[in-house]
Structure 1
Amino acid sequence: MEKSNRVILDAKQFDLTIKRLAHQLIENHNNFTDTVILGMQPRGLFLANRIQAELLAINKKYKVQVGSLDTTFYRDDYRRQDNPLIPSKTQVDFIIEDKKVVLIDDVLFTGRSVRAGLDAMLAFGRPSKVELLVLINRRYERDLPIQAKYIGKNVHSVTSERVEVSWVENEGEDKVILYTPAND
């Protein structure tokens, strides 16, 4: 039973956060000629597609390519699962060799998913630079020395708490909630 939940981002804040992240990318990548975006499956791809759409809404010349990365078999815990894992689709229809790659995920917590994403990405070439963009950065519980360059919102949480990102494409609405378990 959940003790409390707190909305971290409502739909309006969610939209503003995506707009801000897109503008930060523009500041650092100018015209995106040497930049590609890789969304980590499954939920990082929602954010990657939203970022791409926002960039195009700002200026039609920002035609940044977006691909999707599945990290299932690159995870350090995939053999420890009781049930077989069902991978998502990886689709990278472009060259990342010597490109700037913006790796995107919805939540950064321990860093293990991002590490797996970096390993999966290397199967498609060696980029000149990799930057991490996340909607939510859960601080204080990192297992690996991984840090995002672009952060939608920092959340100060403990291991027992849970952050849930809802996407209009999947759950019917955009919002982020922090769940705190009951102390029963």
Structure 2
Amino acid sequence: MSGTAAALTAGYARLLAYARKRLRDPDQAEEVVQETMLRVIEQDRRQAIEQPLAYAFRVADSVVYAGARRDGRAGEPVDPDLVCAAPLPDATLDYRQRLARFETVLATLPAQRRTVFVKRHIEGKSRGEIAEELGMGIEAVKKHLVRAMIDLAAVADALDLGQ
């Protein structure tokens, strides 16, 4: 049993009590805890979670709130503490993981290709502006952009395959 699974198993009673307090129907608490444990274990497979039980409590909030929205009670929150404009913890973690992966892949590009890609797709400059800034033709800029996309896709595929 992994460390995350062991921590979740050890904290099951606490998670169940927490879910029961958050729900109007305490009989749904077990379903919420099972869904929470599943999400945490799936997330742990993608990236190690340092404090799985603490993370599970945040995910439980997410599951409870999602259930309330699905049941049509979005205008009537289960608990005032759940109302927040910030993204949910699992969405934030997923975004951070994707950003770190993108930065890793971007760093593998040759310097000029990376510069052209960043100026076009991150800074939002036109091909003409990039060509003028870097002293190259528009066709060269296009070629760098196409090759950057090919390189990024190849490296991303290699990372997906664990190579």
Coarse TM-score class (shorter-chain normalised)? under 0.3
Structure with greater helix share of residues: 2
Structure with greater strand share of residues: 1
Report the structure number with the largest CA radius of gyration.
2
Greater RCO (CA < 8 Å, at least 6 residues apart)? 1
